Amino acid sequence: MSKFEIISTILAAIGIFATIYNLQLFVRASRADHERRRKQATIEYAGQLLREARMKIDVRYRFQALTSEDINKVMSNPEEEAELRNILGVFEHLAVGVHAGVYDRDILYRMSATYIISIFQRVKAYIDVAREKFSPNAFTEFERLATEFKSRKENAISVKGDIEYS
């Protein structure tokens, strides 16, 4: 092998290593960007949904758990029942997004775990009635999310949420 071939081989190897290194940097930057966008989307979308739901549910039902009397009143008024089901649907869709990985679980936990747990506990009696009346699977994603968040709080599981790849 001549000097020229050795130098060419060394330069080619250096080029390959530089390309691999740049590719790794690109992948890391892409992951960080994706993760940041996912967290930002969670903050923006979940924040908006929770603000709207909070206004509706807190104004209408105050801060107490729904009683049997409240549930009977809701069930006898189709408009009120539709509004409550719509509010719970917001939480269900949010939970589906979290469970599917569309929204960031840790950011949502940091933003609203206490409120999500509280809302679930306040409307649990209605959800039980809805499961009997409409579907045994009604609001299961919401329940799963609230249960997970409650468990994390009780067990003091550390909260992540920072952008891992940045």
> Global pTM?
0.74
Query: Could you say which residues of the chain have pLDDT below 50?
Result: none
CA distance 97 to 105: 9
Compute the distance between CA of residue 3 and CA of residue 130 in angstroms, rounded to an integer.
81
Asked if 107 and 163 count as a contact pair (C-beta separation under 8 A), the reply is no
Average pLDDT, rounded, for the chain: 85
User: What is the spatial distance between Cα 111 and Cα 47, in angstroms, rounded to a whole number?
Assistant: 8
Domain regions of the chain by residue span: 39-154
User: First vs last Cα of the chain: how many Å apart?
Assistant: 44
Cα gap 67→12, rounded to integer Å = 75
- Output the six-digit token pair for 5: 């071939």
- The whole-number pLDDT of residue 161 equals 57
Residue 157: the pLDDT is 65
